[in-house]
Amino acid sequence: MPRNVIEAIGNTPLIRLNKASDATGCEILGKAEFMNPGQSVKDRAGLFIIRDAEQRGLLRPGGVIVEGTAGNTGIGLTLVAKALGYRTVIVIPDTQSQEKKDTIKILGAELIEVPAVPYKNPNNYVKLSGRLAEQLARSEPNGAIWANQFDNVANRDGHIRTTAEEIWSQTGGKVDGFVSAVGTGGTLAGVAFGLKGKSNAVKIALADPLGAALFSFYTSGELKSDGSSITEGIGQGRITANLDGFTPDFSYQIPDEEALPIIFDLIQEEGLCVGGSTGINIAGAVRLARELGPGHTIVTILADYGTRYQSKLFNPEFLRGKNLPVPGWMEEKADISV
């Protein structure tokens, strides 16, 4: 039995994705990261980054942890921080879902919303959070650190030591492929290193939103992006430290039009409610299944829970505004009266 919230992080179930499996003749399995206490894969990064900073003697009791995040890392860091007696200051681009911002506030973080600007701009949320951490390190009585999830490889180490180990033991070592999208790269590179360390035959695939830069980098050597995916938390524009030394065996670019129906069907047909990046992940797993052929076992990540995107992914007006198809059931009204 977990004795605190931290011990409830990880050891998530691996769930068979029936439609994707049956359509491809493969076993496509989803690691249910939405079952972490903060409902996303980023609880693991939050935990490992904080534990690493403690071990290095960088975090003092009552200290402040500062981070720039699309939201999920802010949630993961804050719940771990609360359990251990630290404070968090979270910087988030204003384009991210209101539900994630609300969750961060409910958990008791100080939330700073900033305009979404590209990484090369000095006011990008990641760079702002780094400067803020430097300031707070000087002014806060118990000091402050920058979690720096993109270039802090404690993030990737967490996936090498936990996610990859869990996948290996849950499949009894019978895993032929792993697929995921990239935000920091901690999940993809960490699981890749972990699984390849067990068996070099495991194939690793990047699933990138259409037009994102990593697909272009791994297929043409050039970091070029021209995408407009509605997915959040993924679509990295540079080679982060977490991606250092990593190369996928296959790279796919997935349009939202391919990812969203997967998410909508997953709710209606399998009772699994997940966010947009998970649609990209499963679409990537289906492509890898077709690449490898029937009879293979492919694992991907169910990265976060869908209610986090109620106002976007599950909002017909939002979808129409983006020229994306709206499934009929989303607009149906219940005709049951009592």
Rounded Cα gap, residues 146 and 149, in angstroms: 9
Q: Which of 38, 76, 185, 284 binds ligand PMP (CB under 6 A)?
A: 185
Q: Which is nearer to ligand PMP, 63 or 233 (CB)?
A: 233
Q: Which of 37, 233, 248, 306 binds ligand PMP (CB under 6 A)?
A: 233
DSSP 8-state secondary structure symbol assigned to residue 143: -
For ligand PMP, the binding residues in 116-175 under the rule CB under 6 A are none
Answer yes or no: 196 catalytic.
no
The yes or no reply on residue 186 touching ligand PMP (CB under 6 A) is yes
Region binding ligand PMP by CB under 6 A among candidate stretches 34-42, 51-59, 60-68, 254-262? 34-42
Region binding ligand PMP by CB under 6 A among candidate stretches 75-83, 106-114, 185-193, 328-336? 185-193
For ligand PMP, the binding residues in 64-83 under the rule CB under 6 A are 70, 72
For β-strands 110-114 and 203-209, DSSP reports them as unpaired
Residues, the chain, total? 338
Mapped onto helix, strand or coil, the DSSP state of residue 316 is helix
Q: Which residues does 317 contact at the CB level (< 8 Å), separation at least 6?
A: none
Q: Tell me the closest approach of the beta carbon of residue 86 to ligand PMP, in angstroms.
A: 21
Rounded Cα gap, residues 308 and 68, in angstroms: 18
Rounded Cα gap, residues 190 and 276, in angstroms: 21
Rounded Cα gap, residues 42 and 61, in angstroms: 23
User: Which phi and psi angles does 48 have, rounded to 5°?
Assistant: -70, -35
DSSP 8-state secondary structure symbol assigned to residue 309: G
Q: Tell me the closest approach of the beta carbon of residue 200 to ligand PMP, in angstroms.
A: 22
For ligand PMP, the binding residues in 258-317 under the rule CB under 6 A are 275, 277, 303-304
Q: Which of 206, 234, 259, 272 binds ligand PMP (CB under 6 A)?
A: 234
Q: Tell me the closest approach of the beta carbon of residue 106 to ligand PMP, in angstroms.
A: 18
Q: How far is CA 280 from CA 125, 250, 261, in A?
A: 24, 14, 11
What is the contact surface with ligand PMP in residues (CB under 6 A)? 40-42, 70, 72, 181-188, 232-234, 275, 277, 303-304
